[in-house]
C-alpha cells in the first residue's frame, strides 16, 4: 500500500485567508455557505475528546485567539464523553467535529457504526493507558488480574483493553470493569474499591493534583506501538458535501493545537477562564507532556499527518486479535483527500 501523508501548513492557511480577505463583500456566498468567503459565519458544534483537561485546551485556544472566526466559523464548544459517545453524536448530527482515538474509531466501525470519517491526526501515537497510584500495588500488567478498573463505557482504553490484555498476557476475565463519568473519573482513584482507571498518559499531573498521590501508568503503547492517538473526525456527509469547509475548520483547529504546544501556560489559562473547574497548572503540564505525542520524536512529521500504511498495520493488529472483521481498509475511516497536505 502506498504511503499517503498530509500535514498542516501554516503558510498555506495564511495565503488562503489573505485571498478571502481580498474578496468583495458584495460577492454572493456559495450555496454551501463555505466558511471564510465573506458570508455569514458558519455555526459549528465542537466536542472536546473527554471533559475539559489540558490535553483538550487547544480547541478553546482556537476559539479565544480568533482562529475559528478568522476561518469563518462561529464555534460552540461542549465537553466530550470519550470516543464512543462522541462518535454517536457526530453520526446523529448532534455535533460537527470532535477528536476521538483512532483505534477506538476502528473498533466502533468494526462493530457496525458508520457515518464518520477522520480528517487529521491530533497525536501521532496512542496515549491510552491504565492509570493507578503507587499505593494500589500495581507494577506490571499481570498485577491487574483480580483488580477493579473504572472508565466510561465508550472509552477507547476500555474498549481496547482486550487487545492489550492479549498482548500483555493478562487473563481478561480476571479484571472487573465498572462505569465511570469523565468529570469524576480521576477522583475514583481515592476510592479503596477502585484499583485503576482508563486514562491518557498525559493525565499524570492532573492525577497527582487530584489524588495527592504518586501516579503510575501502564501505557498501551508498550505493546501497541503502531497505534495513532486522537484524530479529528466529522460526519461522512459533512466531509462529502462541504470538503472545503472541513479543510478550513481543520486548519483552524490545528493552528490552535500548534499555538497551545508552543504556549502551554497561556493555553492553560485560557482553559481555566472557560472552565473554572479546570486546574491550570495541571493543564499546562499535560500540554507539555503531549508535545512528543503530537510530533513523534525524530519522525520529522508535521502536525496533522495520517499515514495510511500505519493505519493498515493498526487494522491488522485489531483483526489479528479478533476485535474487528476482515475487509476494513484505511480509506473507509479516513478522508485521505481532506487530511492536511504536506
pLDDT in tens, 281-319: 999 999 999 998 998 554 456 799 999 999 999 999 899
The half-sphere exposure of 123 on its side-chain side, counting CA atoms within 13 A, is 28
Percent of the chain whose predicted confidence (pLDDT) is above 90: 78
Q: Do domains 10-125+227-332 and 128-222 have the same CATH topology?
A: yes
Which residues, in sequence order, are CB contacts of 127 under 8 Å at separation 6+?
55, 200, 201, 202, 219, 221, 229, 230, 290, 293
Which residues, in sequence order, are CB contacts of 18 under 8 Å at separation 6+?
none
Query: Bridge partners of 133?
Result: 215
* 85-93: average pLDDT: 97
d(CA 307, CA 301): 10
Buried/exposed code over 78-117 (b: 16+ C-beta within 10 A; e: otherwise):
eebbbbbbbbbbbbeeebbbbbbbbbbbbbbbbeeeeebb
Query: How much is the pLDDT for 52?
Result: 92
What is the third-level CATH fold of 128-222? D-Maltodextrin-Binding Protein; domain 2 (3.40.190)
8 or 53, greater pLDDT: 53
Residue-averaged pLDDT of the chain = 88
> pLDDT band for position 120 (50/70/90)?
very high
Percent of the chain whose predicted confidence (pLDDT) is above 70: 87
d(CA 233, CA 274): 23
Q: What's the CATH number of domain 10-125+227-332, 3.40.50.620, 3.30.70.141, 3.40.190.10, 3.10.129.10? A: 3.40.190.10
Domain ranges of the chain: 10-125+227-332, 128-222
Q: What's CA 237's distance to the chain center, in Å?
A: 20
* 242-266: average pLDDT: 98
Residue with cell 499517503: 4
Query: How much is the pLDDT for 80?
Result: 95
Lowest mean pLDDT among 141-150, 179-188, 256-265, 268-277: 179-188
Residue with cell 472557560: 274
Residue 8 has pLDDT above 70, yes or no: no
DSSP state of 190: G
Q: Strand 73-78's sheet: what is its strand order?
A: 73-78, 42-47, 97-101, 230-235, 116-121
pLDDT in tens, 182-237: 889 999 999 999 999 999 999 999 999 999 999 999 999 999 888 999 999 999 99
* Distances 225 to 157, 212, 311 between C-alpha atoms, Å: 15, 31, 12
pLDDT in tens, 148-173: 999 988 788 998 899 999 999 999 99
* 246-256: average pLDDT: 98
Query: How much is the pLDDT for 169?
Result: 95
Query: How much is the pLDDT for 253?
Result: 98
> pLDDT band for position 31 (50/70/90)?
very low
d(CA 325, CA 327): 7
Q: What is the pTM of this model?
A: 0.81
Q: Strand 196-200's sheet: what is its strand order?
A: 176-179, 148-151, 196-200, 128-133, 215-219
Query: How much is the pLDDT for 228?
Result: 93
> pLDDT band for position 247 (50/70/90)?
very high
Amino acid at each position: 500500500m502506498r504511503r499517503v501523508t498530509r500535514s498542516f501548513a501554516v503558510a498555506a492557511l495564511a495565503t488562503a485567508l489573505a485571498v478571502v480577505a481580498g474578496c468583495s463583500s458584495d460577492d454572493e456566498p456559495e450555496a454551501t455557505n463555505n466558511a471564510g468567503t465573506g458570508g455569514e459565519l458558519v455555526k459549528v458544534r465542537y466536542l472536546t475528546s473527554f471533559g475539559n483537561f489540558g490535553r483538550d485546551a487547544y480547541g478553546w485556544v482556537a476559539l479565544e485567539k480568533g482562529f475559528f472566526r478568522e476561518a469563518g466559523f462561529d464555534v460552540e464548544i461542549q465537553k466530550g464523553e470519550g470516543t464512543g459517545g462522541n462518535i454517536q453524536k457526530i453520526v446523529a448530527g448532534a455535533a460537527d467535529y470532535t477528536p476521538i482515538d483512532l483505534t477506538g474509531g476502528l473498533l466502533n466501525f468494526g462493530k457496525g457504526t458508520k457515518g464518520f470519517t477522520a480528517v487529521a491526526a491530533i497525536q501521532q501515537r496512542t496515549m491510552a493507558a491504565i492509570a493507578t497510584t503507587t499505593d494500589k500495588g500495581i507494577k506490571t500488567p499481570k498485577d491487574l488480574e483480580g483488580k477493579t478498573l473504572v472508565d466510561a463505557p465508550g472509552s477507547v482504553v476500555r474498549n481496547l483493553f482486550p487487545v492489550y490484555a492479549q498482548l500483555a498476557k493478562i487473563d481478561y476475565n480476571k479484571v472487573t470493569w465498572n462505569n465511570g463519568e469523565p468529570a469524576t473519573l480521576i477522583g475514583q482513584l481515592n476510592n479503596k474499591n477502585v484499583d485503576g482507571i482508563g486514562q491518557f498518559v498525559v493525565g499524570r499531573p492532573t492525577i497527582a493534583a487530584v489524588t495527592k498521590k504518586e501516579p503510575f501508568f501502564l501505557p498501551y503503547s508498550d505493546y501497541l506501538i503502531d497505534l495513532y492517538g486522537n484524530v479529528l473526525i466529522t460526519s461522512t456527509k459533512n466531509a462529502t458535501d462541504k470538503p472545503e469547509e472541513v479543510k478550513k475548520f481543520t486548519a483552524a483547529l490545528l493552528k490552535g493545537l500548534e499555538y497551545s504546544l508552543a504556549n502551554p501556560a497561556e493555553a492553560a489559562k485560557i482553559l481555566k477562564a472557560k472552565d473554572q473547574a479546570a486546574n491550570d497548572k495541571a493543564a499546562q503540564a499535560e500540554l507539555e507532556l503531549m508535545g512528543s505525542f503530537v510530533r513523534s520524536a525524530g519522525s520529522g512529521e508535521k502536525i496533522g499527518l495520517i499515514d495510511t500504511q500505519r493505519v493498515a498495520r493498526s487494522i491488522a493488529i485489531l483483526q489479528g486479535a479478533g476485535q474487528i472483521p476482515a475487509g476494513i481498509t484505511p480509506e473507509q475511516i479516513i478522508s485521505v483527500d481532506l487530511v492536511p497536505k504536506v
